[in-house]
Chain A
């Protein structure tokens, strides 16, 4: 294997094998230096992350272009299992193996949109306008329907006419601040995917 060329090496292992795995195997293709192109992953930044699908929570390595400089925009070009992770030990399932296509899915939303009542289309709106209008709608509804006391005089301080479903694929930090805000508003109509 020591005399293997870069091209032969690719034929044998498939182009997705990562730089880290090369180092683990203790060799690099000796004639690769003569090639014009380098391995893409040698110039990539490795970031450790977790698969966002099921709760096995496989460790993943993400490889991104962009060196972290202010004007360089990072783009993920490859994702594979983290061999150091005690549960998945480098493996990924058919879902996790397709993660790169999730990151770059054509269905990813790009900017805030608004659909007016009765309309059959979206219109793009700026963030400030979207958040200002939602905040206003929420406050109007809360002020109109907040129940401070029941007819029997019990203090209940709840708001039942607006509710929320939270995301159980979001981080603990997102969940924590979402919960903190939700109860400060008086939400009880509040759930997450654990319910289903």
Chain B
């Protein structure tokens, strides 16, 4: 979230699209209710299903799954045509006036530089025009035909209300009603928040959907203000924290990135990331990249990370490509992997195409499971009849299953979707012999290290020299680890302006990332968390819930990254002179000498706003981008592509370009492409979803939840039920080209027939929560049905849009 849960109460319009907060995040959704009750807010819900969020909405619009790009494109087109944009904001705080290279082009769904064989782009042309002074050229009059504003007008002209109706199936009058409501927040005193979740991320164009939403918000001046923002609801309790800590194939902590194979030198690595300003007097905060990186390397390799060895740069593995989960299972399926560790992760249930997953896991030599619960993955080798039809004798994989503690039995911090790091305390011992994940990982590490000590082996240095300063090497405490990722001074730190003054003594915890240095004198395992455990102790454990300004800022509750800031980009809530656009909900302001207010300013604290520094300080331009430059796989502007399994033969936006039917820059493995189904055989659009009574694949192990939602079902509309002779309670078989599930049919009015390109289309809703382990009635893993293809940028699987057929059993 750019903003936070309680801040939703400040919204005037709440747009829920690509999510269903009322059911999936009920206690967060109360802030929508609060906004409606006390701020006269109006709620808009756009979803293929009439969800419980929709049931309390002021306006609900149905949409065909996977077509949000057309809906949002239509909104942008409407806002530009009606000139319902916040002019002062877009002109000064975005790239609206910037001029794009002359050789940049877009035609029939493809941008300049496409290589069909590689399914990727040469992105050279996707950039601004740079002047002789090294800065981006701009045209404040907005008249230049290649300024970002003019290019957008051209790009979005095709996204008409008629197109929205044809592609999305959303009635035009409903769509226009929603546009009008959204447009009402273009005034500086009205705010809209967008709340989204997996309904956006789980598409082959998910990242672009989210970017598209952010563009709507920028046009309206809704980023950086109270009651605004782009707010990812996020599924797991610490999915934010684990992303912040960089537990992804290509990341390091705090959104630093792992080096790529060609980046053989440290200087080359840093230069590519420490962006120089692209406009005069911009902060371009990533210029500090080396301070964050060196401090991380000091936290990991301590004394062994020196200036001479470039802080242990060679210890880090170098990427030749992304090894995301889908790539991992592809390699496993090809027999190219030997070992796999699943720590609190149940990929047999959570990854697409279960048959492929079963096959892949069976080719491993060894599989290690660390989990509090008996997961499906841990017993992938066991026959559970039609729910897991395998022959154990044929599966040679050795499996270790290690019991772990759960939340109630450990202390530590979780980071919620508001970016709050909240400390929790241990209430009991884990059952039996279960141990914490920290102890298991440490026990494994110290054993591996001992083996390298005694036997030697392949490159032992990164292992042997890893800093391990914990009082008990096999059981580091959460407090020790939290202090390490927050960070400390390794030597006395002198004031850069006055060398005689010591600002921080050696060994002291640091108050924030502004204290980090690139000379090896500071250590911080995750720069954005720096200060969470500061010189005054553990700020994550703070429990002062007072809200002096009344806008829900509670800045002394826990710790929010970065720098305890609650609303990102909050400097954009003020005009060029530093005066809040909306005085009634002011976050920060300039008082003539400094920035301050209800939040920690997201700006240089003493920067006079009239000197022209932009509010988006992480970007070298200092402003937010409509034109994404080279940062997205598919192109600088979002464009609609059909799901990989689509009921349509042509992309209605680019009917003459077959390569632009589905995401032209998405990676598709050959065997997975073969497993895609066609609309002739599988005519219904399917989407997976979650129920309010269950959490993923966990709560089928929980008695209360297994009682209230005991049995697998699928949801179909009245019309489809009638067409197939299916009534509620009948057993149905739902098949895709990859397998089938059987479940009880729930025939509802919540799924309406949509007219798409002149033909009726039925949706099938598939809740995901059942499997062959647990207390609920045994069922099929829903991912038996889903296709293996990921978003072009994030590689998140397309679980929300695929094709099935439904039959009565």
Contact = CB atoms under 8 A, between A and B. Distances in A.
A171 to B, nearest CB: 3
Contacts of B462: 157, 183-186
Interface stretch (B309-317, B594-602, B666-674): B309-317
Contacts of A2: none
Contacts of A184: 300, 315, 445, 462-463, 466
Given A50-B407, A109-B373, A137-B339, A87 B27 contact: yes
B317 A95 contact: no
Q: Is the interface of A mostly helix, strand, loop or mixed?
A: mixed
B392 A154 contact: no
Interface in B419-448: 420-422, 424-429, 431-438, 440-445, 447-448
Given A95-B705, A177-B442, A164 B427 contact: no
A176 B242 CA distance: 8
Contacts of B438: 173-174, 177
A127 interface: yes
B317 A157 contact: yes
A146 B413 CA distance: 34
A115 B459 contact: no
Interface stretch (A14-22, A23-31, A54-62): A54-62
A120 B6 contact: no
A130 interface: yes
A117 B396 contact: yes
B279 interface: no
A155 interface: yes
B235 A98 contact: no
B399 A93 contact: no
B406 interface: yes
B236 A173 contact: no
Interface string B4-31: 0110000000000000000011111011
Interface in A137-196: 137-139, 141-143, 145-146, 148, 150, 154-196
A180 B425 CA distance: 24
Given A95-B693, A109-B401, A183-B316, A62 B408 contact: yes
A44 B381 CA distance: 43
A158 to B, nearest CB: 4
Interface string B381-396: 1110000000011111
Contacts of A166: 242, 247, 343-345
A175 B245 contact: yes
Interface stretch (A5-13, A32-40, A72-80): A72-80
Interface string A118-145: 1110100001001111111111011101
B613 interface: no
Contacts of B455: 139
Contacts of B433: 110-112, 127
Nearest to A46: B427
B435 A103 contact: no
> Range of interface residues on chain B?
35 or more
Contacts of A145: 338
Contacts of A186: 317, 459, 462
Given A110-B432, A112-B402, A102 B773 contact: no
B106 to A, nearest CB: 30
B733 interface: no
A45 to B, nearest CB: 7
Nearest to A125: B400
Given A76-B408, A165-B342, A107 B422 contact: no
Contacts of B725: none
Nearest to A108: B431
Interface stretch (B55-63, B280-288, B475-483, B614-622): B475-483
B786 to A, nearest CB: 10
A102 B775 CA distance: 11
B18 to A, nearest CB: 15
B452 A139 contact: yes
Contacts of A119: 392
Given A49-B407, A172-B529, A162 B237 contact: no
Nearest to A94: B693
A43 interface: no
A67 to B, nearest CB: 13
Contact of A185 (B252, B448, B773): B448
Interface stretch (B184-192, B695-703, B738-746): B695-703
B417 A56 contact: yes
A109 B448 contact: no
A179 B254 CA distance: 12
B703 A101 contact: yes
Contacts of B26: 91, 93-94
B56 to A, nearest CB: 15
Most chain-B CB neighbours within 10 Å: which of A53, A177, A190? A177
B425 A49 contact: yes
A168 B238 contact: yes
Contacts of A56: 5, 25, 27-28, 233, 416-417
Given A49-B407, A165-B347, A94 B314 contact: no
Contacts of B794: 195
A166 B371 CA distance: 11
B463 A170 contact: no
A107 B344 contact: no
A128 B692 CA distance: 41
Contacts of A111: 403, 432-434
A169 B344 contact: yes
Given A54-B235, A114-B399, A192 B345 contact: yes
Contact of A115 (B241, B343, B381, B774): B381
A188 B25 contact: no
Interface in B215-244: 233-244
Interface stretch (B268-276, B324-332, B603-611): B324-332
B694 interface: yes
A157 B315 CA distance: 7
B413 A134 contact: no
A158 B407 CA distance: 33
Contacts of B529: 172
B457 interface: yes
Interface in A61-104: 62, 64, 66, 73-76, 79, 81, 84-89, 91-99, 101-103
B441 A174 contact: yes
A57 B434 contact: no
B351 interface: yes
A102 to B, nearest CB: 5
24 contacts: A48-B425, A49-B408, A54-B235, A55-B238, A56-B28, A66-B428, A86-B6, A98-B704, A102-B699, A107-B774, A118-B392, A134-B368, A139-B452, A143-B457, A158-B317, A169-B237, A170-B242, A170-B437, A176-B526, A179-B247, A184-B466, A188-B319, A192-B243, A195-B248
Given A48-B543, A54-B237, A87-B6, 13 more contacts: A50-B416, A51-B407, A53-B698, A76-B408, A93-B27, A94-B705, A95-B693, A101-B704, A118-B394, A131-B447, A148-B459, A171-B414, A181-B442
Interface of A: 45, 47-59, 62, 64, 66, 73-76, 79, 81, 84-89, 91-99, 101-103, 105-120, 122, 127, 130-139, 141-143, 145-146, 148, 150, 154-196
Q: Which 5 A-B pairs give the minimum distances between C-beta atoms?
A: A167-B344, A110-B432, A171-B412, A109-B403, A57-B416
